[in-house]
Structure 1
């Protein structure tokens, strides 16, 4: 009964996502109202995330088995087919008969008897022929093959092939279809990495050190780190390693005034405050009150008092000119370097968004430039892999602002891989090379005192 409930809940979430909801938000809301044990909750999450990640591949396979175009199917029937196809082709531990029978029942309840017969016929045929279904030929059309086989939009695959080549692009696509590691950031004010690792081990949570950040641990086994007393006591936070590295590139000094322009839920904000031992002052702004409410709770948990949180658009937020010693602009972006963190994200991206994001990023940079003191620092970063949002934005900014220059000598991160720095002075973390989310960073310094 619980398994049937899990499949039904997964279908409800997929339909909400199809209606425009974020997968993470829709899944969290659905699970918050579900009376399921941890194992069944995990199964729901696996069904939703897996079906969304592999949607492109599933559709390519289903299109060979359904006579009419998939777009003409009833939306509920299409999602039932996708959900069943994911179980048949990607989840070996799920009995095929159970996946098919439950999908048929869902179609019968959601649509009609004809839909149930269609689902039954298609999924049973898929179970028989899944290993014989054809994909585009890699040699003849690498974009079509990689897009279908690894379930990514063709326009992204085409861009990455041109930039990274076949081998690296394929490695990137593989990583994007793999859940990200669970990474902890130690609170450097209160504990060492070795000490935190030992404390977690006593609570049956096994970890290994992050390769680049000196302050991170990757959870390899054990329970939920948020349900441990050490978390409540503020000894660590959950944060991706690439995100940690951005703060480590900025590495502001103590007793300084800073501004985190797009703070979000505050991962970088709280790390900045910990980095300077809660000295000085740090303004954290964001347009979302919901995101900032998470940051407020984190500040309380971590006992940080140097941060002032304000809701507002950083482009027009009232900040005294030349008042900040450092500015962090983790700019809103397309997020193409972090696709594995949101299963549905790849299907929401468009080439047009790159142009829109670049315009927004340039406006935010203008606000950052006004706020920084002479001699002040600016770290511009995105979790995008796309040049339009990264070096092209930087080139335009530096051309318009001769008082700013790349502070290459200021990048002294001891564990930064050599291939993460380019000849221009930019830092670029790539999932397929460094195992982190994809990040671009430029550390800039303003002329003057």
Structure 2
């Protein structure tokens, strides 16, 4: 009774995420690095893990409707075997239902007790038979519960978004959050051109197309193990979503300037700024974690960048030696991350409403400390990869109320044309359901000279 290795790897990863609170991307990378798999199997494991985590609430709702045993009474290993099986049955058309059931039974025999396999077999085959008649909560009677179950998001978050955006926009946002995002890269113009890189990809059997908004963005179809590509090793591109490229474009650093990036790891925006500065000037890139500094240094070396000085430093603390020294400062603040749920679905389950107050206070303190580095006439950009006004517009307004020497600074001329209509007076709000890129907030402020 040989167990299918990709499914077993997926199960172990899902268990670590659901039961041990592991981050999905880190847990998955760890398992993939520990096992030698073909590209097709790596893709299968990735689909199983992200899909099962993404649809967890809906899957649990369905399991609870077919199981006489309450979910909390089911052993964690067996519950995750069931989740994995239900995901294959309901969301993976190319997987035969018999294979999903049989492989789940094998896993339950290894990770459960004698009765587990019969329990798993019965539930999964029953779900497979009746999958087209599964009923969901009534949308008219309880729109929050309906949207929560239908699109697998926690009810408190759905309620929050309905209050902020309305039912129709929220449903559109939930649908978008469950879509698979483009695999987007940034062309490193210090080493190559977009046309040359597209040609190199074509020679490697990969298809690359223009991004949706940013000039230096390309979308790679089925990238597989891109880390093995010669053009990656040679530093011709950096993996980065288009939304994540915008803070650097909006900060608009110039060659020869001093720029400070106070929350810089893993270095995507930092290296982008160096690229925009044509590798001339100086960037101080900081992060509180020692191990993340090495990520910045590794990226800089691979991309051929020499102007970045990476340092361990707590962004909450004001460095007196840099007060009013910087031409431009970037604050890409820690946040709830609700704009990148498409990429990291476990964010939905790891955050709570109580996190919000704590994180907004942290954001305000970091922004206030970082603002001290801006010289008169200089600029500061505040960005998050989340949506909702508390961490974004409201927070920047609080900062401006307390720091009268700063004003919003318009930046429409720096935006791609397709995004200009979404820009306010000094800030832009980006949503995955509207713009088809990660949800982001970016504000730009200038210190009076």
Instruction: Report the equivalent of 1:10.
Output: 10
Instruction: Report the equivalent of 1:322.
Output: 324
1:114-263 alignment runs, 5 A limit = 114-221=115-222, 223-263=224-264
8 Å CA contact 1:204, 1:223 repeated in 2: no
CA deviation profile, 1:369-395 (whole Å, cap 9, x unmatched): 111111110000001102110011111
Q: CA deviation at 1:425?
A: 3.1
Instruction: Report the equivalent of 2:390.
Output: 388
Unaligned runs of 5+ in 1: none
Q: CA deviation at 1:184?
A: 1.3
CA deviation profile, 1:187-206 (whole Å, cap 9, x unmatched): 12233323322332233221
CA deviation profile, 1:273-323 (whole Å, cap 9, x unmatched): 010011111000011222222211111111211110001211115342111
Distance 1:412 1:247 in 2: 10
Q: CA deviation at 1:62?
A: 0.7
Bigger shift: residues 36-45 or 262-271: 36-45
Q: CA deviation at 1:92?
A: 1.7
Q: CA deviation at 1:89?
A: 0.8
Unaligned runs of 5+ in 2: none
Distance 1:363 1:30 in 2: 37
Pair 1:348 & 2:342 matched: no
Bigger shift: residues 310-319 or 390-399: 310-319
Pair 1:29 & 2:34 matched: no
8 Å CA contact 2:411, 2:426 repeated in 1: no
TM-score (norm 2): 0.95
CA deviation profile, 1:342-371 (whole Å, cap 9, x unmatched): 131211111111111100011101111111
Q: 1:54 to 1:365 in 2, by over 3 A?
A: same
8 Å CA contact 2:250, 2:411 repeated in 1: no
Instruction: Report the equivalent of 1:286.
Output: 287
Q: 1:417 to 1:9 in 2, by over 3 A?
A: same
Distance 1:331 1:396 in 2: 15
Bigger shift: residues 120-129 or 109-118: 109-118
8 Å CA contact 1:249, 1:411 repeated in 2: no
CA deviation profile, 1:196-230 (whole Å, cap 9, x unmatched): 22332233221111121111111135654332222
CA deviation profile, 1:19-68 (whole Å, cap 9, x unmatched): 12112111111111113222222222111111100101101111101113
Instruction: Report the equivalent of 2:62.
Output: 61
SS across alignment from 2:196:
helix
Distance 1:16 1:371 in 2: 41
Q: 1:2 to 1:42 in 2, by over 3 A?
A: farther
Distance 2:89 2:415 in 1: 46
Q: What root-mean-square deviation, in Å, do the aligned CA atoms of Structure 1 and Structure 2 show?
A: 1.7
8 Å CA contact 2:180, 2:342 repeated in 1: yes
Q: CA deviation at 1:159?
A: 2.0
Distance 2:330 2:143 in 1: 39
Bigger shift: residues 184-193 or 82-91: 184-193
SS across alignment from 2:66:
coil
Pair 1:108 & 2:100 matched: no
Q: CA deviation at 1:164?
A: 2.7
Distance 2:125 2:189 in 1: 55
Q: 1:209 to 1:30 in 2, by over 3 A?
A: same
8 Å CA contact 2:13, 2:27 repeated in 1: yes
Q: 1:243 to 1:231 in 2, by over 3 A?
A: same
